[in-house]
A and B are shown apart, each in its own frame.
Chain A
Amino acid sequence: MNLYDHNNTLTAHHIKADREADAKVPDNLWTKCPKCETTVLTDDLDQYQTCPNCFYGFRISARQRLNWLVDQFTEFDTDLQTTDLLNFPGYDQKLAKAQQRTKLNDSVLTGTAMIGQEKFGLGIMDPTFIIGSLGTVTGEKITRLFERSTEQELPVVLFTASGGARMQEGIMSLMQMAKVSAAVKRHSQAGLLYVVVLTDPTTGGVTASFAMQGDITLAEPHALVGFAGRRVIEQMMHQKIPRDLQDAETLLSHGFIDRIVRRQDEKQTLQWLLKYGG
């Protein structure tokens, strides 16, 4: 039962209509760090978008990251398009929206990049594109990145960010794990370096494949890295799990990550590894 006729309410009629005024007000004046709960004035966050207290890296788009990461970049495979194999309800619209927002054809940006004199194959997964889920085009772009880099004898740096498999693409999403892994293995057999940078969140099928196949594995502070989702684990265990179970720092202490690197240090760290690590 409605107390008032909806069209007569102020919200529906007047306030929402003034789009121009709306646009002038920042969406998020304050940003709260989801890890340490420090509140920061959003304007005070610099290009790296990290918490000034705990250095957690907020989720940023691939193109935002690219801006400060490298000196030169040539993009690959911008034309690939996925097909809606399962006729999954609403998938077309979801894809179109994500493409428009991220200026990407799917959840990863790939290409060749330079930092200083170091040339390498670069992939950046985009957590804002359907949570970086692993679709067919995502898998194809990463496979081609490894194949081209093998051909050109280049190392590969891959920033992972993913909610895991893309369920709208069903079993084809699972097959991407095998496809990419085979290309990673060939690249490795050619004696080339593969550096992974785990960013928030890296989970599911991506963790269970190319995120955990690097020669050197870096991670951003407090990035969530895991296989199963927290809710699934808690249902299985019938108990709460530690808050930091899937924090990068926990994985470091268990021996699955080489180093935690803050965003402002990533460029320099990668340059060093590209020069001396492979």
Chain B
Amino acid sequence: MAKSAGQIVAASRAEQKITGEQIVHSLLSDFMELHAGGIGSDNPAVIGGIGLFHGQPVTVIAIDKGDTIEDKVNKHFGCPTPAGYRKSLHLMKQAAKFHRPVLCFVNTPGAYPGQEAEETGQGAAIAQNILEMSQLPIPIITVIFGEGGSGGALALASGDQVWMLENSTYSILSPEGFASILWKDSSRADEAAQIMQLTPHDLQQKHIIDGILEEPNDHRQVVQNIDRVLQQQLSQLQKMPVEDLLKQRYERYRKF
């Protein structure tokens, strides 16, 4: 039986969910992590680097929620800081320079809302990512594999295609936030999830996303599903003249 929106929200946040680390290291045959963003600090919530995807060098950017408690705290439970977004933009521009496609993997409750994040320009960092991604002359594909939290997710999901694992969500705010605004009661999150249209199925119907990937319990199979679709789509996008690619990307968002 199909899962309810509330069940999908719970599954997207489940402890046993595949991690950004796992995806990066099992999808690519060789991965070298790169840390620099050139802006004062590194943000461990964003894993970035270059790896080989079926023998082809690609730039990979993945949000990771962390493993141990200490790791989770360091990564703000998968909420990137401005430095994380600036690192990802630095890597995307580098990818464009060397004609490497970009693969993004997103699982975030949202961009980190802390004092320091405000002081270092969280809004500006996200704004620059979205602005630049619209015209980078290389294919950019995003897979949302858990939570797709608002602008913090969009900052890595405004390229050519967006795919979602079946147990993931993509929304303007959390169901808890929505319920607390609408009914002043965050415990009615399940009801909120129903009306928010945040499930992969709802989003595909609105053409917000390009497709849904099955998500069996075995993480190796999940990676295989991601692998298959990325290989297929990447080869299509790489055949396109850059001009057509960018025109298609513009149209993708223009219709909303």
Contact surface of A with B, Cβ cutoff 8 Å: 85-89, 136, 139, 143, 165, 167, 170-179, 181-182, 184-186, 189, 204-205, 207-213, 225-229, 232-233, 236-237, 241-242, 245-246, 250, 254, 256
Determine how close the nearest CB of chain B comes to the CB of A1; give it in whole angstroms: 25
Pairs A-B, 8 closest by C-beta atoms: A228-B113, A207-B123, A212-B127, A175-B256, A182-B134, A227-B123, A208-B126, A212-B124
Residues in A neighbouring B117, C-beta threshold 8 A = 227-228
Tell whether A254 pairs with B119 under 8 Å between CB atoms, given A171-B197, A171-B198: yes
> What is the number of contacts between chain A and chain B, taking CB atoms within 8 Å?
145
Count of chain B residues near A, Cβ 8 A: 45
CB distance A181 to B173 under 8 Å?
no
Tell whether A185 pairs with B132 under 8 Å between CB atoms, given A86-B197, A179-B254, A233-B113: yes
B221 within 8 A of A: no
CB distance B173 to A167 under 8 Å?
yes
Determine how close the nearest CB of chain B comes to the CB of A232; give it in whole angstroms: 5
Tell whether A245 pairs with B119 under 8 Å between CB atoms, given A177-B151, A178-B154: yes
B130 within 8 A of A: yes
Selected from A170, A176, A254, the residue in CB contact (under 8 A) with B171 is: A170
B115 within 8 A of A: yes
Bound Cα distance A242, B254 (Å): 39
Query: How would you classify the secondary structure of chain A's contact residues: helix, strand, loop or mixed?
Result: helix
Bound Cα distance A213, B126 (Å): 10
Q: Can you sample 7 A-B contacts with CB below 8 Å?
A: A88-B195, A170-B197, A171-B170, A171-B208, A186-B250, A208-B155, A233-B113
Q: For residues 198 through 248 of chain B, which have their beta carbon under 8 Å from a beta carbon of chain A?
A: 198, 203, 206, 208
Determine how close the nearest CB of chain B comes to the CB of A195; give it in whole angstroms: 15
Residues in A neighbouring B197, C-beta threshold 8 A = 85-86, 170-171
Q: For residues 168 through 205 of chain B, which have their beta carbon under 8 Å from a beta carbon of chain A?
A: 170-173, 178, 181-182, 195-198, 203
Residues in B neighbouring A207, C-beta threshold 8 A = 123-124, 127
B131 within 8 A of A: yes
Residues in A neighbouring B132, C-beta threshold 8 A = 185
Closest chain A residue, CB of each to CB of B122: A227
CB distance B122 to A228 under 8 Å?
yes
Residues in B neighbouring A245, C-beta threshold 8 A = 115, 118-119
CB distance B122 to A232 under 8 Å?
no
